[in-house]
Every structure is written in C-alpha cells, then in structure tokens.
Structure 1
Amino acid sequence: MRWKLLALDLDGTLLDQNGDVSEENAASVREAHASGTHVVLVSGRHHIRIMPILDRLGIHVPIISTNGCEIWSASGRLLDRRVLPWKDVETVHLLAFQHHVHYRAYCAEGVFDSEQRNHLAQMDYSWLKVLLKSGDDSSLSVAYERLLATGRLELTVYGSLGEPRQIDVQPKGTGKADALSKLCRMLDIRREEVVAIGDDRNDIGMLRFAGLGIAMANAPEDVRAAADEIAPHYLDSGVGRTIARLMRSATA
C-alpha cells in the first residue's frame, strides 16, 4: 500500500453488532500490517476494552483510546494522556445531578457509571471523558448548552442538537484527529499518507485529517459528507473489503 498508516474506528466500523471482528476484516487488517503499513485502532472505548480486540487480530499495534485522550504504543506504553481539569469534572458532575442526566465516566483507573459509588466526586482519579445520556432530550440539550458556554470543553453530540441521544465531554482540544496527528508526528508520517475509516460523529475530524477519509455506509449523513469515499456496510465486512481494494490498487 502506498498509504503508510491505517486508522480504524471500532464500533460500527471494524466490529460487528456483537463487538467481534469478522474473519474477513481480521485477515485484511493482518495483511495490511504484514505489508509494513502502520495499523492504529482509534476508539471512544477505554483502552482496557480495546485489548481483547488486539488479541482477536493477533497483532500488536498502537491504540488511540477514549476519543483521543490517550495514545498507547504497540508495546502497551502510554505515550500521551489528556485529562479533564478538576473544575470541569465538578461542572459535569453538578449538571448531571441537577438535570437528572446519567453518565459513564472514563478515567485512567477504569470506567464508572453514575449509579456506582465510584463516581465523578473522586478527586484523585485522572478523568478523561464523560459520556452523558438521558431519556429526556430537553435535559441533555440544557446540559449541552451549559457545558458549551464554559468554552473549556470538547463536546460531541450524537443524534441532533435538538434531540441529542448522548454527549461526549472531554478536554478542550482533544479528539481522534488531534491524537492521530500527534501519533503521525511520532512516527514521522504525513497526513497525506494516512487512511482513516469510521462511522460516527467522533470520527468526523479524523476523516477530514486523513489523506483518505472513508466513512462506512451505515454512517450518518453528515459523517459520510465529511469523507472522501464510502465503504460497504460494517455488517458486510466493509473494512476488510475496503483494505483489500486499497491493497489491490497499490499493486496494480
């Protein structure tokens, strides 16, 4: 492949509806890796929940986790971490309480839900990202507006601003694109040499950053509009088929 780095989102992209990797996807990823192409898994997941996927693929590659808040080397060494300042953690915690919004909080120490005792009141944790969710669209909309007004946070809305399904809250200036850019500098790879494949709104920046941004056929319209190409549906092993096509083109 003339492409030097392949950045792959997980849920709705590389993984099927059961969170597994199809054999076609796995084979193509392994073939790209064996060819000398850098493969990077890029996900909103906590890095601990990404490790079993590496075991399934049978390769050791870098990981960008929690929407770009952490970068891990292929050997499992932490290369970069961005954390939420404590005052912003307090703000998110207060808003969740005031507006009856549930959250899933990601920190270096693990992942905690609002129903658990270990929650955002724990000052000694290194908080990375908070996923806000509620069955009440108006509560999430109010929380979004108040968080946006701080000017200190990176927010990703899933659904629409008027009817959000959930919101990712993370440190300002973080995201998959930012982390991918950092990793490219570490590896001395130009953005023009990057292929990125994803399916959701947290992938938009990454798709635009890459020399070739590819959205899955199952992606929302605005995500597909941000891409250069569209891959087959994730349930049809779209990632594997796309990688195979790119490799054929490189050797034609």
Structure 2
Amino acid sequence: MGKYRLLALDLDGTLLNEQSEISEMNAKWVKHAIEAGVTVCVSTGRGFPSALPFAEQLGLDTPMITVNGGEIWTKPHALHQRTLLDSDKIMKLHALAERYDVWFWAYTTEDIYNKERWVGDTIARNWLKFGYYTEDAPILSAILNEIQTWEGLELSNSSPHNIEINAQGVSKASALMEVCRMRGYDMSEVVAVGDSMNDIAAIRASGLGVAMGNAQDEVKLAANVITGSNQKNGVAEVIQNYVLRA
C-alpha cells in the first residue's frame, strides 16, 4: 500500500466527461487503484439515486458521499449519516428563487423538486439541499449576497452559474473526515479530486488536493496539483501520477 489509501472523486466535471459518462481510461485506472488496495469513494453533490449508477458501473462497494456531504453511506444502500436542512430555511430559499424568477431545485430524502415541480407541503418533507441556477451573473450575485447574511447555511457551487445550499457544517470535507474515522484512515492519506466550490474544502483538507484542468480558478488556487480536464481523462492521470506512485 502506498502513501494514499482513499481516493475521493467528484462526479460531474471530474470523473464524468461532458456527456456524463465515465471514459474507458478513467474506468480502467480506477480499477487499478482498487486492485492496489485503495478505497475509491464517490464524493458528489448529486443525490444518491443519480450517483449510484456510476458507483455500480465501477463495481464500488465502498463509502459514498452524496448531496455535498448531506448523506454519508458506508457502502451503496447502507446509510451511515444524514444531515437535514430545516424546512423553514427551504421555504425562505424557495421564496427568494420565486422573487428573482430563477431556476431552482431541491433534494429531499425521497425525491428531487424544481421550478417546474414544487410541493406545497414543505414542512412535511425531509430536505437535504437547495440550489439556484442562472447565467445572469448580477442576479446570482444578488441572491448570494442575501443568503450570506442568513444563519445556519453552508454555501458552495457545482458550476460558476449556480449556488448550492446545505445545512451549516455540511461539506465534502466534513464527510471525508467521517469516512476516514469509519475506515481508520488519516486525512493525510486522502486524495480529493474536484472542479467546483463544493470540492474546495475537501481539496484543502486532504493529503493531496487535486483540481481538474477544467476547475474553477479558486479551486485551482486551493489545490496542491492540477490534473488534466474531465474531457482528457484527468482522473486517470491522477491515479497514474500520484495515487499509485506515492
């Protein structure tokens, strides 16, 4: 076993290409990492149902981090920990989305809702995450400025055009720390790979923080190294050059 024991991989913009596919090269090198004894952990802003097919494609029976750390799974289908976002905060976030007339979505423990499909019985549901999307930068900035004044929220993004909101303290970094506690690893033994602001805390907290070539500039500045883009098998490059060489 080398220096690194856990490889935490974001999905969109990282392991997945722009067609939301795992390339043959990335799949091949993930398999090599697994065969070498490395624990490969999906770490994504996606909910469990949409992240699961990629874990299954890779044959992973290892921990998963979903909805930016709102859920931590011991292995697929085995929930270890879940942190909910208060319903009253969801109602405020929803009202703000309506006021600015932007696209929005929100995850519950059972489903996902959005601007085209919302629910009136907000209080009755168990919420995990809320998100806004708009390519109108001034509006996105105005929304961010307002919610930054609210208490009890953890703010990030998964693209330059969105804002993602979890309960305060929820992040991929805190989730990775819990996975390490579960598995008996140290954070110095973790390689975290990502491209967006919801990856930045994990990149900073890990033994090796890796930004994709297509990552947002702030993520690149936070990383120890920058790999190839998600269109050029950047994950395979990380495994070859760092995970299996360490």
1:167 is matched with 163
1:128 is matched with 128
Query: Within the alignment, does 1:228 sit opposite 2:224 as a pair?
Result: yes
Q: Please report how far the alpha carbon of residue 171 of structure 1 lies from its aligned counterpart in structure 2 after TM superposition.
A: 0.6
Instruction: Summarize the Cα distance change of 1:229–1:107 in structure 2 as closer, same or farther, 3 Å threshold.
Output: same
* Contact map agreement 1:105 1:119 (CA 8 A) in 2: no
2:100 is matched with 99
Instruction: Summarize the Cα distance change of 1:119–1:140 in structure 2 as closer, same or farther, 3 Å threshold.
Output: farther
Q: Helix, strand or coil: the match of 2:161?
A: strand
1:186 is matched with 182
1:18 is matched with 19
Q: Please report how far the alpha carbon of residue 107 of structure 1 lies from its aligned counterpart in structure 2 after TM superposition.
A: 1.2
* Contact map agreement 1:113 1:119 (CA 8 A) in 2: no
2:173 is matched with 177
**Amino acid aligned to 2:100:** H
Instruction: Summarize the Cα distance change of 1:77–1:181 in structure 2 as closer, same or farther, 3 Å threshold.
Output: same
| Coordinate RMSD, CA, aligned | 1.7
Q: Helix, strand or coil: the match of 2:106?
A: strand
* Contact map agreement 1:154 1:173 (CA 8 A) in 2: yes
Q: Please report how far the alpha carbon of residue 177 of structure 1 lies from its aligned counterpart in structure 2 after TM superposition.
A: 0.7
| Candidates 202, 209, 221, aligned match of 1:206 | 202
- 1:32-43 equivalence runs, <5 A: 32-43=33-44
In 1, distance between residues paired with 2:188 and 2:40? 15
In 2, distance between residues paired with 1:120 and 1:219? 37
In 2, distance between residues paired with 1:44 and 1:80? 15
Identity of aligned residues (%): 35
In 2, distance between residues paired with 1:133 and 1:242? 30
Q: Helix, strand or coil: the match of 1:131?
A: strand
* Contact map agreement 1:101 1:133 (CA 8 A) in 2: yes
Q: Deviations over 1:114-140 (max 9, x none)?
A: 211x43742221111111123443333
Q: Please report how far the alpha carbon of residue 202 of structure 1 lies from its aligned counterpart in structure 2 after TM superposition.
A: 1.0
2:59 is matched with 58
Q: Helix, strand or coil: the match of 1:60?
A: coil
1:141 is matched with 141
Instruction: Summarize the Cα distance change of 1:156–1:121 in structure 2 as closer, same or farther, 3 Å threshold.
Output: farther
In 1, distance between residues paired with 2:138 and 2:33? 45
Greater mean deviation of Cα atoms: 71-80 or 8-17? 71-80
In 1, distance between residues paired with 2:143 and 2:157? 11
| Candidates 231, 235, 242, aligned match of 1:239 | 235
**Amino acid aligned to 1:59:** L
* Contact map agreement 1:5 1:39 (CA 8 A) in 2: yes
Instruction: Summarize the Cα distance change of 1:75–1:157 in structure 2 as closer, same or farther, 3 Å threshold.
Output: closer
Instruction: Summarize the Cα distance change of 1:247–1:197 in structure 2 as closer, same or farther, 3 Å threshold.
Output: closer
Aligned residues: 245
Q: Helix, strand or coil: the match of 2:97?
A: helix
In 2, distance between residues paired with 1:151 and 1:75? 32
* Contact map agreement 1:108 1:128 (CA 8 A) in 2: yes
**Amino acid aligned to 2:150:** T
* Contact map agreement 2:45 2:158 (CA 8 A) in 1: no
* Contact map agreement 1:90 1:121 (CA 8 A) in 2: no
**Amino acid aligned to 2:41:** V
Q: Please report how far the alpha carbon of residue 232 of structure 1 lies from its aligned counterpart in structure 2 after TM superposition.
A: 1.3
Q: Helix, strand or coil: the match of 1:80?
A: strand
Q: Please report how far the alpha carbon of residue 224 of structure 1 lies from its aligned counterpart in structure 2 after TM superposition.
A: 0.7
TM-score, normalised to structure 2, is 0.93
In 2, distance between residues paired with 1:124 and 1:182? 28
* Contact map agreement 1:105 1:120 (CA 8 A) in 2: no
